[in-house]
Amino acid sequence: MPKKKTKRVNTNSGVSAYLRKPVVQLGLVALVVLVVYLIASATGGAATGVAREINVDEAYQEYQNGTFVVDVRTQEEWDEYHVPNVPLIPLDQLPDRLNEIPKDKEILVICRSGNRSQEGRDILLSAGYQATSVTGGIKEWYAKGYPIEGAPAQ
């Protein structure tokens, strides 16, 4: 019986062969790393899962060292009690009052418990500021015995 001739398919041609080259593979990995880095940089680290937050103990140290702190609670909350010498810019007014915040300094954002400060931080980060939110907020600040003006409702 005569042997059948089988046609060989050349698997070493085209895109497949090109993608098997180590230099090309390394280049693709580098491209992916670059894209991830650029996304993370543009979002202030949020895309990497690295939260820009500090606890009230760290925030108090920063406050003592002169770091600019902004309170994003409501006027009523601020009137009740607040951190001395910390300006109030309610969260809903923050985008329109960015000119009141120094652009060349690290900014700490504080609220009642830490939720609104995260939103405030993200607004500032999107506007090009260096911002960090304070976890635990002024409630924890007060509980730790750090200075306040006024007193919380009992």
Looking at residue 92, which CATH number applies to its domain?
A: 3.40.250.10
SS3 112: coil
- Same domain? For 28 and 85 the reply is no
Q: What is the pLDDT of residues 42-51, one digit of tens each?
A: 554 444 344 5
Give, for 148, the enclosing helix (H) or strand (E): none
Structural domain of 16:
10-50
DSSP 4-42: PP-PPP--SSHHHHHHTSHHHHHHHHHHHHHHHHHHHHH
Asked whether 149 and 138 are in contact (CB, 8 A), the reply is no
Quick one: pLDDT at residue 17? 73
Contact between residue 146 and residue 82 where contact means Cβ atoms under 8 Å apart: no
Q: What pLDDT shows up at residue 26?
A: 74
> How are beta strands 149-150 and 130-134 bridged, if at all?
unpaired
pLDDT value for 59 = 96
Q: Which of 22-26, 77-81, 107-111 has the lowest mean pLDDT?
A: 22-26
Enumerate the active-site residues. Answer: 111
Instruction: List, in order, residues 6 or more apart from 106 with CB less than 8 Å away.
Output: 62, 67, 68, 130, 131, 132
Alpha-carbon distances, residue 14 vs 10, 19, 108 (angstroms): 9, 9, 55
Confidence of residue 150 (pLDDT cuts 50, 70, 90): very high
**Whether residues 68 and 117 fall in one domain:** yes
- Neighbouring-strand partners of residue 70: 109
Is 41 in the same domain as 58? no
pLDDT > 70 in the chain, percent:
77
Q: What is the per-residue pLDDT across 108-126, written as a single tens digit (0 to 9) for each? A: 999 999 899 999 999 999 9
Q: What is the mean pLDDT of the chain?
A: 85
Tell me the average pLDDT across 123-144: 95
In a domain, residue 2? The reply is no
Confidence band for 25, pLDDT divided at 50, 70 and 90: confident
Place of tokens 């409702």: 153
The domain total for the chain is: 2
Quick one: average pLDDT of 94-121?
95
Q: 68 and 37, same structural domain? A: no
- For residues 33 and 61, state if they share a domain: no
Note whether 23 and 59 are same-domain residues. no
| pTM assigned to the model | 0.68
- Cα distances (angstroms) measured from residue 96 to each of 9, 100, 122: 65, 9, 14
Query: Which carries the bigger pLDDT value, residue 45 or residue 12?
Result: 12
Question: Domain check: are 64 and 94 in the same one?
Answer: yes
